[in-house]
Chain A
Amino acid sequence: MYSILFSDAEKTYIWDGVELNLRNDGRKRNDYRPMELETDVVTHASGSARLRLANTDILVGVKAEIDVPYPEAPNVGKIEFFVDCSANATPAFEGRGGEDLANEISSALLKAYDVLPLNNLCIVPGFSCWKLYVDILILECGGNLYDSVSLAVKSALYNTRIPNVKGTYIDGTNVDLQLSDDLFECWKLDVSKAPCFVTLCKIGEYLVVDPTVEEEACSTASIVVSVGENGSITGIFKIGEGSFHQNAICDAIKLAGTIGNELNKTLKLALEKEENLGIRRERYGFLK
């Protein structure tokens, strides 16, 4: 895990601030930092998004490729998540340093995305299906990686366009795949069921939303809740070395449910708003 140098006096300052419901950047305990989101930023990907949450910078690219479905699930497509903690973010990620964190995030995503139906991704049952490779690049770490990664992934999947491919059986069981003549004839994935993560960081006796790196250093344990459609909970796990009391965990999960629901709605509105700007909208990329 990445860490920072931090003195006890600074820690006390943050603790006291959280207790007064006034954090050192002026936010309340349940406030998020401002986010910048842009989709369709990478040409060669089927879908992509870049999210900047204060200092956290995430770039996600989705590529759709054709694969053979699993024999135990012949009617569904596949999805796979890869996280790359770039050494640009912090020197601690150099070499294999970021591997543990990357594994944790990708396995959490895989579990949380269990709720997303992948039946549409099947082309010919038992023979071919789409496999979505979701590659996540962490360019900068400014705290709250889980939330920002999940939001960026959801936006990239929203942006993903999958070409129309038809499978026809020729001489009995051989399958022939036919790509439509117009390569721009695509369909979009339905991401309304896709979850987003809400991390609640325990600082002193209080739960804090969207922690900065400094705040993460003050807390002993956080709970990450993945929230799906209508505030349903689709996954829970704990990060950090500490533990929770029963009541704290129940409160945290309920709070995460409401916050996550709000977050999902806001994200949906933002994505629709961006799409309505049309294909010729102004692109910012990394220049902003």
Chain B
Amino acid sequence: MPVDSFRVTAPFNTTDYRVYSKKQNELPKTVQKERHDGRQSNEHRPIVMKIGILSQAKGSAYVEYQNTKVICSVFDPREIPNKSEYSVNGGLYCEFKFASFSTQKRRGFIRDAEEREYSVHLRRALEPAVIRHQFSNFQVDIYVLVLENDGSCLAAAISCANLALANACVPMHDLVTAVSLGLFGEHEIIDPTYSEERSCLSKPYVNQAEQGQGIITVSYMKIFQQITEIVHCGIMHSSSINHYIEKLIAENEKIYNLCRQCLVGNILVHLREKKETEAA
């Protein structure tokens, strides 16, 4: 991305004033069984999914987990730029971006390391699902913008991008959904919020052998029973992985049904509209 030299950028090293507030820095040392928003530990936040919200993109989607809001647009395949040799499989170009006001600390316009990393995870999660040999030598552009980040934004982004791809009629084997799991000692919390994520990643890590701390995000294709991407940060013991993955897959299956409902519902609305216009 070229740097826009005409844009007046904020001073380079400013800090958010909330960093200096004592209350802000006091992280909850443990994740309680009672979560701060009253959810159960295995309860996902309510999900809003909508597709076709942007008129100029080929496909678009919006996903909201309360205060985590993600928008995604997918564009028509175009020839892969700056490439000389023929590639049998088409490419996916993913761009993950936080809106500059989406997090507590202001984000710059140029993609930072975290955004680049999330872009890679997004591409890896979606690549196995897309039938790429049907658009050889072409690439599909996927742009994800996080409007507001209140935790689990990568999971929301993957589910959102999947809906946008389906909305853009990109050939796919299966739908991809993703869920995050926060670990803190014996507590395992589905769909952690931003403050829960911070507690899960707060250092020093609890160093007891059987107990984990951190965040796992798993993206899953339900029909094929395949995990398309797994991202873990933090610390855990390898013996508990089975349990975590089973939990994440069960949750992914619920979201899968929601995605399907959203897509089918959209088709039904279109059919009804078509019928009405024909009748008129």
Contact = CB atoms under 8 A, between A and B. Distances in A.
B169 interface: no
Main secondary structure of the interface of B (DSSP, over half): mixed
A232 B127 contact: no
Nearest to B20: A71
Interface residues of A, number: 39
Given A233-B232, A235-B233, A241 B128 contact: yes
A144 interface: no
B113 A235 contact: no
Interface in B233-275: 233-239, 241-242, 245-246, 249
Nearest to B113: A107
Contact of A237 (B19, B221, B232, B236): B232
A232 B239 CA distance: 10
Interface of B: 15, 19-20, 25, 89, 113-114, 116-117, 120-121, 124, 127-128, 201, 203-205, 209, 216, 221, 224-239, 241-242, 245-246, 249
Interface string A5-36: 00000000000000000000000000000000
Contacts of A71: 15, 19-20
Name the residue among B127, B230, B239 with the largest chain A CB count within 10 angstroms.
Answer: B230
29 contacts: A71-B15, A100-B120, A104-B117, A107-B113, A114-B201, A115-B205, A115-B235, A221-B128, A231-B237, A231-B238, A232-B235, A232-B237, A232-B238, A233-B238, A236-B216, A236-B230, A236-B232, A237-B232, A243-B221, A243-B226, A243-B229, A244-B226, A245-B226, A246-B225, A246-B246, A249-B227, A254-B241, A256-B238, A257-B238
B47 to A, nearest CB: 23
A72 interface: yes
Interface of A: 71-72, 100, 103-104, 106-107, 110-111, 114-115, 117, 221, 223, 228, 230-246, 249-250, 253-254, 256-258
B239 A223 contact: no
A72 B201 CA distance: 14
A5 to B, nearest CB: 11
